[in-house]
Amino acid sequence: MSKRILIVGTGVIGLCTAYYAMKRGHRVTLMDRAPADHSGCSTGNAGMIVPSHFIPLAAPGMVGLGLRMMFNPESPFSLRPRASTDLLEWVWKFFQACTPNHVLRSAPLLRDLGMASRSCFEQIADDASATFLFEKRGLLMLCKTASTLRHESATAIQAHKLGMPAEILSPEEAARLNPGLQMRVAGAVYFPLDGHLCPEQFLRSLTRTLQRAGVEFLWETEAESWIHQGRRLTAVQTQRGVKQADEFVIAAGAWSPTLVRELGLHLPMQAGKGYSITLPAPRQIPCVPSILTEARVAVTPMGSRLRFGGTMEIAGHDPSVNHSRVRGMIRSIPDYFPGFTEADFRNQPVWSGLRPCSPDGLPYVGRAGIFENLSIAAGHAMLGLSLGPVTGRLVTELISGETPSISLDPLSPNRHARP
């Protein structure tokens, strides 16, 4: 049965949900507080599709690593202390989640989500209206030191146990995957099932497909309050009037907790700011995307351009650029790729975006609170692009009255509900 679906948020999660809902014959409206330029968190990310990222952000050792990095102004991680009960709660829940048991439970789920989303990308790319390229060249985890290579090799062994291929490579073997690119590494782990794309092209392609199919876009339209009767939402009040629907989906990234607070829904989440710089005419272009493991920098070829992205800065909803963090990212690149210099990045624009981070490293996907027609799709942290399509498919299954093809119980938006 066709339903009226209102989706708040036009990032990758919102667009993918609209895509699958439209394919099911639902009447879809997308609403966003931002203008129609796709300048949010989805646009400037590294563009990586990574089933290999099956270990959640909350994992053993992350607290100690974060503390060691926190006071270095150029490190890949920082947490700005501030008087916030939400921040204190998030930090405490993150600390509690950093256990081996949490990783053991979460890894198979993240693997299943990642592999299903990879298949979704292939299907969307085969759509006759698609105008983006999904490239399946894998991912290299480049390691400067032998100790880091041993750690990444343990992840490769874990990947094999989960049925995911991974190869431990010598420096020479890694270099053969990137002919003509100078590298200075101790070795690498290669995940052949990973892929990449240009996120801007993907978002534009989806938007055009949806517009041609009659999906309504309400740009610069902010949700001000909710209207409900009993356990059902009936409408959302905006500055442009009341918008009614049969089903409501919140996919507003780091702003999602604020949107649902008046409904009594508690979504612990922090905005993790990241940066990227895209060189329009780089000295060298790798064939295979990579992550500079110790530096926490992602490197992705995008046609004739090359994007470098990184950092995780927990600093509220502040979108400003911390140039010390960017400088640290830039300084690390020649350590791995000696063909590049810091001067290559001079005067290049820096993009920043806010990743929505849950405290346990798992997204919030599913029915929310007491409202039977409200779904949440947010909190994907660094996996928003990678898990966007499968999230959209699962939410569409849910609002279509079907049993989701992957259990959403571990992702419940109610899992951190206050008593």
417, part of any domain: no
Q: What is the 3-state secondary structure (H, E, C) of the chain?
A: CCCEEEEECCCHHHHHHHHHHHHCCCEEEEECCCCCCCCCCCCCCCCEECCCCCCCCCCCCHHHHHHHHHCCCCCCEEECCCCCHHHHHHHHHHHHHCCHHHHHHHHHHHHHHHHHHHHHHHHHHCCCCCCCCCECCCEEEEECCHHHHHHHHHHHHHHHHCCCCCEEECHHHHHHHCCCCCCCCCEEEEECCCEECCHHHHHHHHHHHHHHCCCEEECCCCEEEEEEECCEEEEEEECCEEEECCEEEECCHHHHHHHHHHHCCCCCCEEEEEEEEEECCCCCCCCCCEEECCCCEEEEEECCEEEEEEEEEECCCCCCCCHHHHHHHHHHHHHHCCCCCHHHHCCCCCEEEEEEECCCCCCEEEEECCEEEEEEEECEHHHHHHHHHHHHHHHHHHHCCCCCCCCCHHHCCCCCCCC
Same domain, 153 and 253: no
416, part of any domain: no
Query: What pLDDT is attached to residue 38?
Result: 60
Same domain, 239 and 112: no
Same domain, 241 and 318: no
User: Across residues 167-188, what is the average pLDDT?
Assistant: 97
Same domain, 250 and 371: yes
Tens digit of pLDDT for each residue in 206-263?
A: 999 999 999 999 999 999 999 999 999 999 999 999 999 999 999 999 999 999 999 9
State both tokens at 250.
């919140």
**Domain CATH number, residue 349:** 3.30.9.10
Residue 247's domain comprises 4-42+201-267+361-411
47, part of any domain: no
Average pLDDT of every residue of the chain:
95
Give the predicted TM-score (pTM) of the model.
0.97
Angle between helices 12-23 and 384-399 (to 10 degrees): 40
Same domain, 260 and 237: yes
Same domain, 108 and 226: no
**Domain CATH number, residue 367:** 3.50.50.60
Tens digit of pLDDT for each residue in 373-418?
A: 999 999 999 999 999 999 999 999 999 999 999 999 999 999 998 7
262, part of any domain: yes
81, part of any domain: yes
Count of domains forming the chain: 2
| Contact yes or no for 383/51 (Cβ under 8 A) | no
Tens digit of pLDDT for each residue in 38-60?
A: 666 678 999 999 999 999 999 99
372, part of any domain: yes
Same domain, 275 and 263: no
Same domain, 372 and 299: no
